Amino acid sequence: MIVHVDMDAFFASVEQMDNPALRGRPVMVGGGDRGVVATASYEARRFGVHSAMPAGQARRLCPQGVFVRPRFDRYKELSGKVMEVLRAHSPLVEQASIDEAYLDAEGLERVYGSLPALVCSLRCAIRTATGGLTCSVGVAPVKFLAKICSDVNKPDGVFILETGDVEAFLATLPVRKIPGVGPRMAEALGKFGIRFASDMRRYSPDFFRTRFGRPGLVLLERAMGRDPRRVEPVREAKSESAEETLAKDTRDLEQLRRILLAHAEKVGRRLRSQKLQGRTVTLKVKYADFTQITRSKTLDAPVASTQGIYGVARELLEAVSLKKAVRLLGVGVSNFGAPRERLTLLSLLNGGRSPEFEGEKRRLKLDRTLDALRERFGEGVVARGALAMHRRDGLAQGQDQRQELDPQPSGRTPEAGNLRG
Ligand code: TTP
Ligand code: MG
């Protein structure tokens, strides 16, 4: 059996836990004047507010609701505690997102006496470790069913689907509930009289393949209650990225560069903490009219340093049109792993040293020092020149990097929130 754990209204519950004044009230995390709702407390959901809803619409639906700015560092910290609890229960834990994970329960039944006893222990330990957060748990023979089951008695609920009950469950499971089936797919299936999962079995694999391609075949498998995916404890990251909807649309290249640097810093730190380097840097730009472009560059030598990532991202940014104002800016690094032959070849061509490789090595050394300082003394202890200036007074016209070490840990202005959010 597989256990799926999913925290209840995660970001909103954390805010309510940390601030008693918010408890029992409709809380919406995210938004501000712009952007979307990341999540809403169950009190706010009663008014129809949900994740990904534009902030303005949420405000209209629930005028008495409280909007709270997200605090990702705090959510990550608590997410870490939840994962620790799960790993203390089983060696086979796969984190699927910031607030959910799968756990392979094989053999654990005997350790805990029964499946309900295991689930009970998990829930109690999560509540204690986090300081009071609740989760919902689904247990089923396969992954996708476990995920569906954790939603059945949400919030703060449990649903265990025994193998013998899977058939009956599929007969009343609306296709829309199957992960991967969106509103359009559900509508398309509806045209063939397919409303519940088991309705799919009236059609052949060929029918699904020709109409919906490979995803159609996967869907048919699900309709049979099959899901070959195992719980995989370490899923390798394929990319790291950071993006942000700006507080205000802008065409100001200088401001965009600063945001880019903050993103490069964030992505670089995540890569460095995982000892990863990537060869492809991607820039994502969404304009005020919601059109979106991405531009990528693949390098000879992989990067993980903030300046290394920033340098490429900046080059990409300078090549895109700023005729329309920018609404969202993002940076990603992918293509991990160093292709050794290529690096060696580069080194040979450069008399044993590749300038890209050597430069990156130097930059990484500095970054590791900065990362370690922050780890020890907190985020504010050092900031890059341009970022430090931005934090202090919002003025950073073409700063050079001489101010690499900012001795003032306190100089945070509201802009810092935008950068760090
Ligand atoms: P979810 O588990 O999908 O949602 P939730 O935990 O808020 O609520 P539920 O009780 O229904 O599980 O997502 C976990 C967190 O991820 C959520 O608290 C906020 C964030 N998130 C977003 O930022 N944007 C989104 O569109 C979604 C769905 C989630
Ligand atoms: Mg959740």
> What's the pLDDT tens digit per position in 7-30?
999 999 999 999 999 999 999 999
Question: Could you tell me if 209 and 268 lie in one domain?
Answer: no
Ligand 2 mean position, distance from CA 102 (Å):
13
Stated as kind and residue range, the H or E segment containing 252 is none
Of 93-102, 207-216, 252-261, least confident by mean pLDDT is 207-216
Tokens 């990528």: give the residue: 296
Looking at the fold, whether 332 and 361 belong to one and the same domain comes out as yes
Task: Looking at the structure, tell me whether residues 136 and 258 fall in a common domain.
Answer: no
What domain range includes position 171? 167-223
Annotated active-site residue in 100, 240, 244, 356: 100
Give the confidence band of 357 by pLDDT, cuts at 50, 70, 90: confident
Per DSSP, the three-state class of 95 is strand
Whether 246 and 336 share a structural domain: yes
Task: Give yes or no for residue 58 having a pLDDT over 60.
Answer: yes
Find the farthest-apart pair of alpha carbons in the chain and give their distance in angstroms, rounded: 70
What is each CA distance from 7 to 11, 39, 55, 100, 123, in whole angstroms?
9, 12, 23, 6, 10
Length of the chain: 421
> Is residue 10 in some structural domain?
yes
417, part of any domain: no
CA of 415 from ligand 2 middle (Å) equals: 29
- Does the residue 172 lie in any domain? yes
Q: Residue 34: which of 259, 243, 245, 244 has the closest Cα? A: 245
Q: CA nearest 103: which of 90, 116, 88, 115?
A: 90
Both 219 and 249 in a single domain?
no
Cβ < 6 A, ligand 1 pocket: 6-11, 38-39, 51-52, 98-100, 154-155
* Same structural domain, 282 and 174: no
Residue of 36, 39, 153 to mutate, ligand 1, most atoms within 8 A of C-beta: 39
Q: Does 360 participate in catalysis according to the annotation? A: no
Q: Which ligand is nearest to the CA of 38?
A: 1
Q: Indicate whether 420 belongs to any domain.
A: no
Please count the structural domains in the chain: 3
Mean per-residue pLDDT of the chain: 86
User: Residues with beta carbon < 5 A to ion ligand 2?
Assistant: 6-7, 10, 99
Four-residue CA torsion sign, 237, 239, 244, 245: negative
What separation in Å is there between the alpha carbon of 223 and the centre of ligand 2? 24
Range 230-247 average pLDDT: 85
- Mark whether 183 and 117 lie in a shared domain: no
Residue pair 271/304 in contact (Cβ under 8 Å)? The answer is yes
Cα–Cα distance for residue pair 106/229, rounded to 1 Å? 15
Query: CB 125: neighbour CB atoms within 10 A?
Result: 17
Q: Is residue 185 domain-shared with residue 329, that is, in the same domain?
A: no
For residue 4, being part of any structural domain is answered with yes
